[in-house]
C-alpha cells in the first residue's frame, strides 16, 4: 500500500491550498489529478500545493503539475509549490522543474505572490 | 563499511502499482541493513520505483496476474538492482531521453521515468536472460 493524503482548503487572496502527505507515486498520482481537476472545475485557478508532509515523489507526481499548468496560467492563475522537504525538492530539481514552476519555502510566501483579487 | 561481502536479497511482487510501496520498503530495508547513506538510498529507490512503474503501467497494464522479480546485490563497491519480467522485450537504456527545454516549452507530461533512472544511477543495461526473461540492471557505484 502507498499511503497518500491530499486535502484542499481555502487560503487568502482567493487561493486554494492543496496539502499533500505521504507518498506520491504512479499509484496515487491520479488522486491528486482529480483534486486539481475539481479545484479548477470550481472556478479556482490560484492553486498552492503545500508539500510539508509529503515524504516522497516520483515522476508520476511531477507529471500531474505539467497536465494543468498551461490551463491555469492561460486563465491568469498559477500552480505555486511550497514547503518541500529536501528529498522531494531534489526530484523537481533533478529534472529542471524550477524553470517552469515557482517553488517557495512556505505556503505564506506562495500566497503572497498572488495579487489581491481586486488588483488582478 | 562493508568489506568483501555481498548482501543479496530477492522479492517477487504483483505487477500492479499498489505494490510500489512494497518495492520501496524492500530496497530501503536492504540498503539500511548494509549501511548505505540516505542519499544513495533515495536515488536507488527512485530509479527502481520508476522502472517498476513503467513495467506495471505500460508493459502489464496493472494486471495482478503478472509479476515482477527484483534482486538487490549490495557490496562495498556498488549497488546492483536487477528487475526481471516476462513482458514484451523493451530496452529502456536504448530510448532517446527527452530534452527538458523543449519538454517544458511544449508543456508535455509523462515519459520522465527513464531520464530519472539515468540521472540517479551510474549504469543502466538491459539483456534477455537464457530463459527468455527481460532483465534490467540498475547500478550505482559506492564511493569509499
pLDDT in tens, chain A (120 residues): 569 999 999 999 999 999 999 999 999 999 999 999 999 999 999 999 999 999 999 999 999 999 999 999 999 999 999 999 999 999 999 999 999 999 999 999 999 999 988 755
The set of cell numbers assigned to A16 is 486554494
Nearest residue of chain B to residue A27 (CA atoms): B17
What pLDDT, on the 0 to 100 scale, is given for residue B143?
76
CATH code for the domain in which residue B114 is found:
3.30.565.10
At residue B2, the pLDDT reads 46
Helices (H), B16-132: 20-33, 38-54, 100-105, 113-120
Judge whether B104 is closer than 8 Å to chain A, CB to CB.
yes
The structural architecture, per CATH, of the domain A4-112 is 2-Layer Sandwich (3.30)
* Number of folded domains that form chain B: 1
User: Is B116 part of the contact surface with chain A (CB cutoff 8 Å)?
Assistant: yes
- Reduced to 3 states (helix: H, G, I; strand: E, B; else coil), residue B83 is strand
Residue B134 in domain: yes
> Residue B24: which domain range?
7-141
Task: Answer whether residue B88 is part of any domain.
Answer: yes
List of chain A residues whose C-beta atoms are within 8 Å of the C-beta of residue B109: 63-64, 66-67
The DSSP string of B121-134 is -SEEEEEE-TTS-E
Asked if residue B55 lies in contact with residue B116, where contact means CB atoms within 8 angstroms, the answer is no
CB-nearest partner of B107 from A25, A69, A91? A69
What gap in Å lies between CA B47 and CA B139, rounded to an integer?
10
- The DSSP element (H or E) to which A74 belongs, if any, is helix A59-74
Per the domain annotation, does B2 fall within a domain?
no
Residue contact A59–B109, C-beta within 8 A: no
Give the C-alpha separation, B76 to B129, whole Å.
26
> Could you tell me the pLDDT band of residue B4, with boundaries at 50, 70 and 90?
low
The reported pLDDT for the residue numbered A1 is 53
| pLDDT at B121 > cutoff 80 | yes
Q: Kind of pairing, strands A78-82 and A16-24?
A: unpaired
Q: What is the DSSP string of B110-124?
A: S--HHHHHHHH-SEE
Min Cα separation B101/chain A (Å): 9
Write down the ipTM of this complex. 0.94
**Residue A60: predicted pLDDT:** 98
Nearest CB neighbour to A59, from listed B17, B50, B107: B50
Are the Cβ atoms of A90 and B42 closer than 8 angstroms? yes
pLDDT at A70: 96
Is B40 inside any structural domain? yes
Contacts of B50 in chain A (CB under 8 A): 58-59
- Secondary structure of chain A: what % helix, strand, coil (to 5)? 40, 30, 30
- Please report how the helices B38-54 and B113-120 are oriented relative to each other, as an axis angle in degrees rounded to 10: 150
A-B C-beta contacts closer than 8 Å: 69
Distances (CA, A) of B140 to B3, B6, B76, B79: 17, 14, 11, 5
Whether A50 contacts A17, CB under 8 Å? yes
Going by their DSSP bridges, the two strands A103-104 and A78-82 should be labelled as parallel
Determine the Cα–Cα distance for residues B139 and A120; give it in Å rounded to an integer: 51
Residue, of B85 and A120, whose pLDDT is higher: B85
Residue B39 above 50 pLDDT?
yes
Q: Rg (Cα) of chain B, in Å, rounded?
A: 15
What pLDDT, on the 0 to 100 scale, is given for residue A2? 61
* Annotated domain spans of chain A: 4-112
B133 is a domain residue: yes
Amino acid at each position: 500500500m502507498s499511503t497518500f493524503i491530499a486535502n484542499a482548503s481555502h487560503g487568502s487572496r482567493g487561493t486554494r491550498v492543496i496539502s499533500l502527505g505521504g507518498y506520491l507515486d504512479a499509484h496515487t498520482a491520479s488522486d491528486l489529478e482529480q483534486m486539481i481537476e475539481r479545484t479548477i472545475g470550481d472556478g479556482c485557478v490560484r492553486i498552492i500545493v503545500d508539500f510539508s508532509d509529503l515524504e516522497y515523489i516520483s515522476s508520476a507526481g511531477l507529471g500531474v503539475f505539467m497536465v494543468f499548468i498551461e490551463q491555469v496560467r492561460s486563465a491568469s492563475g498559477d500552480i505555486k509549490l511550497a514547503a518541500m522537504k529536501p528529498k522531494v525538492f531534489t526530484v523537481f530539481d533533478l529534472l529542471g522543474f524550477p524553470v517552469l514552476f515557482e517553488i517557495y519555502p512556505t505556503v505564506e510566501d506562495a500566497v503572497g505572490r498572488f495579487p489581491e483579487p481586486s488588483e488582478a | 563499511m562493508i568489506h568483501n561481502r555481498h548482501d543479496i536479497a530477492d522479492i517477487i511482487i504483483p505487477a500492479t502499482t499498489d505494490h510500489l510501496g512494497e518495492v520501496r520498503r524492500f530496497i530501503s530495508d536492504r540498503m539500511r541493513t548494509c549501511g548505505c547513506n540516505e542519499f544513495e538510498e533515495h536515488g536507488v529507490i527512485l530509479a527502481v520505483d520508476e522502472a517498476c512503474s513503467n513495467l506495471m503501467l505500460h508493459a502489464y497494464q496493472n494486471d495482478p496476474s503478472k509479476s515482477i522479480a527484483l534482486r538487490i546485490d549490495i557490496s562495498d563497491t556498488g549497488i546492483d538492482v536487477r528487475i526481471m519480467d516476462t513482458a514484451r522485450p523493451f530496452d529502456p537504456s536504448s530510448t532517446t531521453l527527452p530534452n527538458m527545454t523543449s519538454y517544458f516549452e511544449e508543456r508535455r507530461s509523462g515519459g520522465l521515468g527513464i531520464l530519472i533512472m539515468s540521472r540517479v544511477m551510474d549504469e543502466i543495461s538491459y539483456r534477455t536472460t537464457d530463459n527468455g526473461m527481460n532483465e534490467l540492471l540498475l547500478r550505482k557505484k559506492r564511493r569509499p
